[in-house]
Amino acid sequence: MVEKTDSSGLWPSLYDPFRAMGARLADWLNPATEASGGEKAYDISMELPGVSEQDIDLSVEDGVVTIRGEKKTATEKKGDTWYFSERQYGAFRRSFRLPADADGAKASASMKDGVLHVTVPKLAPDEASSARKIEIAKG
């Protein structure tokens, strides 16, 4: 028996493999990243070989750290009988939601040997707590 399927139910299933392929391609193009939390701070390390500090935009807004950048490299090699030229260009963007006890206003970053290090200190325990005693005014 052949089951009839209306066209609205057919189209989404045809596009699913392409959506999955797009997500895999985006993951492949994103730089390798590690995020961890220590006793005093949260750390994000991102491998960015060949990317200059001027091509990186780092921001913290509404509890989210966003790292944007663009890789621009060009290689040219010549021999007596051969010539090789390669160019790579590509933009990337990664965002990380900070935990409630992170102090995004005091985030700092450094870059060494092609690895970007972002450090976000933790709030002191009494600062992180959103609970506070409210006095009742007499009146």
17 or 122: whose pLDDT is higher? 122
Q: Which amino acid is at 20?
A: A
**Low-confidence winner among 8-17, 83-92, 123-132 (lowest mean pLDDT):** 8-17
Q: Does residue 20 sit within a domain?
A: no
What's the rounded mean pLDDT across residues 65-82?
86
CATH of the domain at 55: 2.60.40.790
CB atoms inside a 10 Å sphere around CB 125: 8
Q: Does residue 16 sit within a domain?
A: no
pLDDT one-digit tens code per residue, 27-50: 556 788 999 999 999 999 999 888
Q: Does residue 138 sit within a domain?
A: no
Q: Does residue 134 sit within a domain?
A: no
Asked if 76 and 84 count as a contact pair (C-beta separation under 8 A), the reply is yes
Q: Structural domain of residue 53, as residue ranges? A: 33-125
Which two tokens mark 30? 């994103």
Which two tokens mark 106? 């005091």
pLDDT of residue 52: 86
Q: Domains in the chain: how many in total?
A: 1
Q: Does residue 99 sit within a domain?
A: yes
Continuous segment of H or E residues that includes residue 26: helix 7-29
Q: Does residue 41 sit within a domain?
A: yes
Q: Does residue 72 sit within a domain?
A: yes
Q: Does residue 4 sit within a domain?
A: no
pLDDT at 55 over 80: yes
With a CB cutoff of 8 Å and minimum separation 6, the contacts of 11 are: none
Asked if 102 and 120 count as a contact pair (C-beta separation under 8 A), the reply is yes
